Amino acid sequence: MSRIGMHTDLEKNPENRVITDKSPSLVSRDKCPASYRRATTQEFAAAEAALARCTSRSEFRALLEASILHFLRSPENIANRRVRLQTYAAALSRPDIATLLAEDQELQGERMFAFLEPLKAKGWVKPELDTRTFGSFDLGVMLGHTQYEVGRPRLDVEAWNQFTLNALLHIIPEGD
């Protein structure tokens, strides 16, 4: 048993662990999906609260840019991305976790729909945007940042962040 599992219930209950083909790490049956769901729910609640204070498209754009950069740079969100990555890795061999992820993606799509559709009516979001699909795309883009966080390859992280901003801010029409 690895040091990760030695001081947890995994030692006594080996059925509560997941060992992926590529990783010896152990993932608790309940902890990983619960942490994943908690992280996405908290992030979304913070965005909704901030949006309520916006009075123009330019304020919305500034808010979205600031929240994306905060998400990318803050240490707690680096940890949240790792939880997401572990959850997705566990889902490869765990149908129960894969089902929870599918439910969470549906929930994310519905949240994005409820969040962005009213902004379409205001002209703050492009009218052709598929808001449900954007929810999954947003999660995928953010999860992709684990690529440079694992192993610390030599690349310009700020350039990567700018690519992310360009991709995600593309939903907002030009002008004000």
Q: How far apart (Å, rounded) are the C-alpha atoms in residues 132 and 107?
A: 9
Give domain status of residue 60, yes or no: yes
pLDDT of residue 26: 43
CA 11, distance to chain mean position in Å, is 30
Say which residue the tokens 């929810």 belong to.
135
Q: Is 15 exposed, middle or buried (0-12, 13-18, 19+ CB in 10 A)?
A: exposed
- Contact between 142 and 127 (Cβ < 8 Å): no
CB 101 within 8 A of CB 37: no
Burial tier of 20 (Cβ tally within 10 Å: 0-12, 13-18, 19+): middle
Residue 128 inside a domain? The answer is yes
On whether residue 22 sits in a domain, the answer given is no
The residue count for the chain: 176
Type of residue numbered 127 = P
Tokens of 104: 């969470």
Number of domains in the chain: 1
- Six-digit token pair at 133? 């699909």
* DSSP-derived secondary structure letter, 1: -
Residue 176 inside a domain? The answer is no
Per the domain annotation, does 2 fall within a domain? no
pTM of the entire predicted model: 0.69
Residue 12 lies in a domain: no
- Output the domain CATH number for residue 81: 1.10.357.10
pLDDT tens for the chain, 176 residues long, are 232 333 333 333 344 344 333 443 444 545 556 666 776 677 777 778 888 888 999 999 998 898 888 888 888 778 778 888 888 888 899 999 899 888 888 888 888 888 899 999 999 999 999 988 888 888 888 888 887 777 777 888 889 899 999 999 999 998 76
- The answer as to whether 175 is a domain residue is no
pLDDT of residue 27: 47
Whole domain around residue 150: which residue ranges? 33-169
